[in-house]
Amino acid sequence: MRLTLPPEAFAKQDPSDDALFYRPARMVTHVDAAALSALTACYQTRLWPGADVLDLMSSWVSHLPAGLVLGQVTGHGMNAAELAANPRLDAWFVQDLNLDPQLLQEDASQDAVLVCAGVQYLQRPVETFADVARALRRGCQVDSRREAMIIGPCPHRGEITFATM
């Protein structure tokens, strides 16, 4: 994919290693209660029982509806202690996507990929989201809100659809 943005558009003001910033665990809430409530309601309508979900750029909370029984929920983030404390995760891994934008997930292994309050930190978003598309089961859709996006199957299309709301 060709980007019309120059590479420096993704440069950070602080050029230091992201791992340094994320070394201490931060058991904090990054988004206010009203936004999280709207996000959880959105997950309730867009996800379904048994779905295999990857919570990309996660922490100690995933904001998933309490009563929704999913398939495998895999978390990804930058701090092991935060991910280990997240009660919704069945499995998790730490990976700096700015150093390595390729995911560990097998091809067509996920029904949905969630990103909440994280996409703005990606310096190689095209590579990461190309790999998200590889990891998703056939046909996917991006439901992008101001602070969160859900990428999941769109049953009527065999292509990636970007839907901004």
H runs (alpha helix) in 6-150: 18-21, 33-46, 80-84, 125-135
Contact letters (x/-) for ligand SAM, 5-24, by CB under 6 A? Answer: -------------x------
Contact of 119 with 99, CB cutoff 8 Å: no
> Which tokens hold the place of 132?
């998200």
CA distance 72 to 89: 8
Using the rule CB under 6 A, is 30 a contact of ligand SAM? Answer: yes
Q: How many residues bind ligand SAM (CB under 6 A)?
A: 16
| Strands 148-152 vs 140-144: parallel, antiparallel or unpaired | antiparallel
Window 97 to 156, contacts with ligand SAM (CB under 6 A): 97-98, 116-118, 121
List of residues 6+ apart from 117 with CB closer than 8 A? 30, 31, 57, 147, 148
Q: How far is the CB of 126 from ligand SAM (least distance, A)?
A: 15
Query: Given the complex with ligand SAM, which of 56 and 136 has the nearer CB atom?
Result: 56
Q: Nearest-CA neighbor of 36 among 120, 124, 142, 146?
A: 146
Q: How far is the CB of 96 from ligand SAM (least distance, A)?
A: 4
CB of 142 to ligand SAM, least distance (A): 16
- Which window, 56-64, 103-111, 132-140, 156-164, contacts ligand SAM (CB under 6 A)? 56-64
Q: Which residues bind ligand SAM (CB under 6 A)?
A: 18, 30-31, 57-59, 61, 77-78, 96-98, 116-118, 121
